[in-house]
C-alpha cells in the first residue's frame, strides 16, 4: 500500500472491541475534562477563564469543555442507537462537573451485551450541516473520538493562552516531567 493511499478493505471492530474502545476512550476523555475543570475551579479568575476563547468567532473554554462532555456520549450512544443528551447545557464550573458525572454515569451503565450487533451498524449523523453515514468503526475512529479530543485540546489551548500553568501531563494524564521543564 502507498503511503497516504486509502485502505478499501476496512476491518471493522468486533462488538466487544467497539465497546472497549468507545467506552474507555470516552471515560478517559471525561477524566481529562474533569481535571481541567478542577484546575479552573481552583483559580480566582475561573469565570474569565471559562469565557476565554482563542479567536472571537470560536467557542469559549466552557463551551469547548461542554462539547467534549457531549462527545463522550456521542462516542457510545449512537453506536447503540440510543438518544443522548447532557442534563444541562450550562457553562459554570458546577455545570461542567455535573455534565462529567452524568456522562460518566450514563456510559458506565452500558454493558458489553448492549453492543450486540453494533459493529455491523451504519451510523447516520450530522457534522455541522453535513449529513453523514458511516460504518460504526469509521464513525467512532474518524468522527466521535477525534471530536471529543479536538474540543478537549481546544480548551487546553485556551487555558495555556490565558497563562494557566498546565502542560502535557495535565492534558493526557500520562506524561511526567520535572518541575520547571518545558518543551521548546
pLDDT tens sequence across 12-47: 789 999 999 999 999 999 999 999 999 999 999 999
pLDDT surpassing 60 at residue 6? no
Grid coordinates representing 54 are 482563542
> CA distances (Å), 106 to each of 36, 73, 87, in order?
21, 8, 11
If pLDDT is split at 50, 70 and 90, which confidence band does 169 have?
Answer: confident
If pLDDT is split at 50, 70 and 90, which confidence band does 170 have?
Answer: confident
Return the number of other C-beta atoms located less than 10 Å from residue 175's C-beta. Answer: 12
Helix (H) or strand (E) holding 119: none
Length of the chain: 184
What average pLDDT does this structure show over 165-179?
86
Which pLDDT tens digit goes with each residue over 133-157? 999 999 999 999 999 999 999 999 9
The domain over range 15-172 is classified in CATH as 1.20.120.450: yes
- Rounded to the nearest angstrom, the gap between the alpha carbon of residue 23 and the centroid of all alpha carbons in its chain is 11
What average pLDDT does this structure show over 169-178?
85
For residue 98, the model assigns a pLDDT of 97
Give the separation between CA 28 and CA 47, rounded to whole angstroms: 25
Give the separation between CA 46 and CA 93, rounded to whole angstroms: 8
Residue spans per domain, the chain? 15-172
Q: What is the pTM of this model?
A: 0.90
Give the separation between CA 17 and CA 70, rounded to whole angstroms: 22
For residue 1, the model assigns a pLDDT of 41
For residue 176, the model assigns a pLDDT of 87
Which pLDDT tens digit goes with each residue over 44-90? 999 999 999 999 999 999 999 999 999 999 999 999 999 999 988 89
Of 93, 70, 62, 72, nearest to 158 by C-alpha is 62
What ranges make up the beta strands (E) of the chain? Answer: 122-127, 130-135
For residue 179, the model assigns a pLDDT of 77
Of 31, 12, 11, 18, nearest to 112 by C-alpha is 18
Give the separation between CA 146 and CA 39, rounded to whole angstroms: 23
If pLDDT is split at 50, 70 and 90, which confidence band does 8 have?
Answer: low
Backbone φ and ψ of 96, nearest 5°: -65, -40
Amino acid at each position: 500500500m502507498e503511503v497516504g493511499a486509502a485502505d478499501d478493505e476496512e476491518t471493522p471492530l468486533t462488538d466487544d472491541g467497539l465497546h472497549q474502545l468507545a467506552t474507555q476512550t470516552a471515560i478517559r476523555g471525561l477524566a481529562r475534562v474533569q481535571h481541567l475543570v478542577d484546575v479552573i475551579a481552583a483559580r480566582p479568575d475561573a469565570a474569565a477563564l471559562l469565557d476565554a476563547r482563542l479567536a472571537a468567532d470560536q467557542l469559549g473554554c466552557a463551551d469547548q469543555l461542554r462539547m467534549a462532555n457531549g462527545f463522550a456520549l456521542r462516542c457510545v450512544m449512537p453506536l447503540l442507537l440510543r438518544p443522548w443528551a447532557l442534563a444541562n447545557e450550562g457553562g459554570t464550573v458546577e455545570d461542567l462537573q455535573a455534565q462529567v458525572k452524568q456522562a460518566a454515569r450514563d456510559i458506565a451503565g452500558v454493558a458489553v451485551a448492549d453492543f450486540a450487533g453494533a459493529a455491523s451498524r451504519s451510523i447516520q449523523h450530522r457534522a455541522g450541516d453535513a449529513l453523514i453515514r458511516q460504518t460504526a468503526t469509521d464513525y467512532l475512529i474518524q468522527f466521535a473520538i477525534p471530536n471529543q479530543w479536538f474540543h478537549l485540546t481546544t480548551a487546553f489551548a485556551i487555558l495555556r493562552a490565558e497563562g494557566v500553568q498546565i502542560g502535557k501531563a495535565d492534558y493526557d494524564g500520562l506524561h511526567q516531567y520535572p518541575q520547571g521543564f518545558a518543551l521548546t
